[in-house]
Amino acid sequence: QVQLVESGGGLVQPGGSLRLSCAASGIMFSIYAMGWYRQAPGKERELVAQISSGGTTHIADSVKGRFTISRDNAKNTVYLQMNSLKPEDTAVYYCNAHWVVFGSTYDYWGQGTQVTVSS
């Protein structure tokens, strides 16, 4: 059974920082690309950051320079470090595991963790 469990969300003031964690189980973590998505009320889910199995990262323009993604394959965990948070970063943040092999796509999602940026 695949499980992605996010943690680290909460309420933070503008300019503050949070670190999200996503612990994976039930998958061969090291071969999956891992990503963080977010969804704000009334908006579509959007990609925030992704890290490949080889460690290559992609950061959305909206958070570039403020957010970083990293992974620890020994702990089956991916992290999202969020600095200089803005009210527009308020959303539910979801962890994603993604693998494509021989034309088949495997996607798994966590349950989400709420991030609220407000004074």
Q: What are phi and psi of 29, to 5 degrees?
A: -50, -40
pLDDT, position 61: 97
Rounded average pLDDT over 89-115: 96
Residue 29 confidence class, pLDDT cut points 50, 70, 90 = very high
Rounded average pLDDT over 38-52: 97
Residue 99 confidence class, pLDDT cut points 50, 70, 90 = very high
CA 95 to chain centre: 4
Residue 3 confidence class, pLDDT cut points 50, 70, 90 = very high
Residue ranges in the chain assigned as alpha helix (H): none
For 82-117, b/e burial (b = at least 16 CB within 10 A) is beebeeebbbbbbbbbbeeeeeeeeebbbebbebeb
% of the chain at pLDDT higher than 90: 99
